[in-house]
Amino acid sequence: MSQPHIAVVDDDAFQRRVLEEYLTRQGYRVTGVEGGAELRKLLARRNPLDLVLLDVHMPGEDGFAVARFLRERGNVAIIMVTAATDTVDRVVGLETGADDYVTKPYEPRELVARIKSVLRRSGGRANTAPDGCLRFGRCILDLAARRLTTLEGDGVALAASEFALLKVFAQHPNQVLSRDRLLDLTSNREMEPFDRSIDLRITRIRRKIEMDPTKPEVIRTVRGAGYMFAPDPGY
More confidently predicted of 40 and 151: 40
**Where does residue 179 rank: exposed (0-12), middle (13-18), buried (19+ CB within 10 A)?**
middle
The identity of residue 128, as a single letter, is T
Q: Report d(CA 174, CA 143) in Å as an integer.
A: 18
pLDDT at 24 (0 to 100): 93
pLDDT at 2 (0 to 100): 65
All domains of the chain in start order, with CATH: 5-123 (3.40.50.2300), 133-229 (1.10.10.10)
Res. 21: pLDDT tops 70: yes
Residue 229: phi and psi, rounded to 5, are -95, 125
pLDDT, average across residues 208-219: 91
Res. 78: pLDDT tops 60: yes
Q: Report d(CA 149, CA 80) in Å as an integer.
A: 27
Least confident of 23-32, 149-158, 194-203: 194-203
**Do the Cβ atoms of 77 and 118 come closer than 8 Å?**
yes
On average, the pLDDT of the chain sits at: 81
Res. 161: pLDDT tops 80: yes
Contacts for 85 with CB less than 8 Å, ≥ 6 apart: none
Res. 126: pLDDT tops 50: no
pLDDT, average across residues 177-202: 76
**Do the Cβ atoms of 34 and 16 come closer than 8 Å?**
yes
Please list the residues that pair with 142 across neighbouring strands: 133, 147
More confidently predicted of 135 and 40: 40
pLDDT, average across residues 166-181: 86
Least confident of 50-54, 182-186, 210-214: 182-186
